Amino acid sequence: MPLDTYKGHGFRSDLLQMLVDLKPSFIRFPGGCFVEGDYLRNAFRWKAAVGPWEERPGHFGDVWKYWTDDGLGYYEFLQLSEDLGALPIWVFNNGVSHNDEVDTSAVLPFVQEALDGLEFARGDPTSKWGSMRAAMGHPEPFNLKYVAVGNEDCGKKNYRGNYLRFYDAIRRAYPDIQIISNCDGPSRPLDHPADMYDYHIYTNANDMFSRSTTFNRVTRSGPKAFVSEYAVTGNDA
């Protein structure tokens, strides 16, 4: 790794300074479709994206069609958020991809993977996964308070059932963590508990302007809106 990096944490200082100047309040990782994959076998899995860089297996991002070495992994995301003074928002796979999904009766390994990830971020340095974080150079817990259960999976056959398994397990183990659903709260009331819902919109310019009052009609009680992805796309952008 080059020696001249931002705070010695692996990122180019000139690029990171641009992020510092933007003053982001949060970092959402690893993003959207990347965490799902077209198929679950190619979904991002955090355990393969920690530890020494040269030992990470990497994986094929089959949604965007490129190979990633996962050098910017789960630990780097948490460290980057801390370096920027931004809140980390961790998105994990909930047993659903674009083309296949795990039945709720078989989703517990995914739930345990999420709990292990939370222990990595927040656990005592003597715990199994907290000790790995400490060995990587960060004995103190990271300030992880927000997690998102999947990405744009609402409406999939097993989403609600899977979501509830994650929600119940995380709420029991980490009652302070804010849990984000990816169902469309403005269109219809959620049929499951959540602290926030993630609203995504990609559309043309006219439609985007027409949506400027979307949240004026939404009740102020219940889950809060989190608009994490939005863009005007097409030739009129």
Q: Residue 1 — pLDDT band, cuts 50, 70, 90? A: low
- Mean pLDDT of the 165-185 span: 95
- State how far the Cα of 58 lies from the Cα of 45, in Å rounded to an integer: 10
Which region among 51-65, 91-105, 217-231 has the lowest average model confidence (pLDDT)?
A: 217-231
| Entry pTM | 0.93
27 closest CA partner among 85, 86, 71: 86
Question: Residue ranges per domain, the chain?
Answer: 24-232
97: pLDDT strictly greater than 80: yes
105-152 pLDDT, tens digit per residue, is 999 999 999 999 999 999 999 999 999 999 999 999 999 999 999 999
- State how far the Cα of 78 lies from the Cα of 58, in Å rounded to an integer: 19
What pLDDT score was predicted for residue 8?
Answer: 86
187-206 pLDDT, tens digit per residue, is 777 889 999 999 999 999 99
User: Is the separation of the CB atoms in 181 and 168 below 8 Å?
Assistant: no
181 backbone dihedrals φ, ψ, rounded to 5°: -85, 155
17: pLDDT strictly greater than 80: yes
- Which of 54, 101, 152, 229 is catalytic? The answer is 152
Q: What is the CATH number of domain 24-232?
A: 3.20.20.80
What pLDDT score was predicted for residue 50?
Answer: 97
Q: Residue 2 — pLDDT band, cuts 50, 70, 90? A: low
| Token pair 């939005």 in the structure block, residue | 230
Q: Percentage of the chain surpassing pLDDT 90?
A: 80
Q: Percentage of the chain surpassing pLDDT 70?
A: 98
What pLDDT score was predicted for residue 25?
Answer: 97
By CB atoms closer than 10 A (0-12, 13-18, 19+), residue 70 is buried
Helical (H) or strand (E) element with 171: helix 159-173
* SS3 label, residue 122: helix
* Whole-Å CA distances, 132 to 90, 129, 157: 18, 5, 35
Is 82 one of the annotated active-site residues of the chain? Answer: no
What pLDDT score was predicted for residue 31?
Answer: 84
User: Is the separation of the CB atoms in 73 and 62 below 8 Å?
Assistant: no
